[in-house]
Amino acid sequence: MTIINVLIADDHKIFRDGIRSLLAREKDIHVVADVSNGSELLETVKEHQVDVVIMDIDMGEPNGVETTRLLKQDHPHISVLILSMLGVHEFVLQALENGATGYLLKNAGKDEVLTAIRCISKGDSYFSREVSAILIEALHNPRSDRRHSSKIPISAREAEVLKLIAQEYSNPEIAQKLFISIRTVDTHRRNLLEKIGVKNTAGLVKYAISKGLIDDGVV
């Protein structure tokens, strides 16, 4: 029986512990380590034999997309499974373009996570239904060159907050959904206004649409 050596990278310890617990009873999967950010991941893979990395997008700097790119440069044999709350068009495509071969949202069940790990460890790809829909949409309706070439100057967490703002969620509701404090949400909102250079929520939504972060009329 071939053992799949897995490394988990997520900035929430409770989530890392949960994934460890989920994988503990699988005879063909062994968790070699878990880390809280991309920098730790890049150092840890030098010390262990790793077949699959399970990684979040939003882990600080470098984020999951950049960490995937750096990892695949030096360790092309390691398969990357993104497991994130972010199902945003821009981040899905960036992750895949930088070498990820699997992408699940954090609402995935145990069986789907196990299937994804086993698939990508063999060199195949695995995407959740939601992510597959994004890829199909991108294939049939590619974003404009302007959208792809313009680098979004905001973090993954800020993008997540921005999408919820566009969906008309209040700060307390956003805090509850993302498991962060209301003060943190307010900080993200103020940072978005300053970075983007707009004065209100309408400006934030307009910016998100122009960059392809959300679809015009579909928020």
Provide the pLDDT for residue 26. 96
Provide the pLDDT for residue 79. 96
Provide the pLDDT for residue 142. 55
Reported CATH class of domain 148-210: mainly alpha
**Selection from 95, 93, 89, 90 nearest residue 71 by Cα:** 95
Provide the pLDDT for residue 50. 97
Q: What is the mean pLDDT of residues 153-180?
A: 84
Which residue, chain included where needed, has tokens 């993954």?
156
For the question of whether the overall pTM of this predicted structure is more than 0.75, the answer is: no
Query: 4-140 belongs to which homologous superfamily?
Result: Response regulator (3.40.50.2300)
For residue 208, pLDDT over 90 is answered with no
Query: Where do you find CATH 3.40.50.2300 in the chain?
Result: 4-140
**Hey, which of 30-44, 96-110, 140-154 has the most confident mean pLDDT?**
30-44
Provide the pLDDT for residue 37. 93
Mean pLDDT of the chain: 84
Provide the pLDDT for residue 144. 44
Query: Cβ–Cβ contacts within 10 Å for residue 146, how many?
Result: 10
- CA–CA distances in Å: residue 108 to residues 83, 93, 113, 119, 152: 9, 19, 7, 15, 27
Provide the pLDDT for residue 211. 67
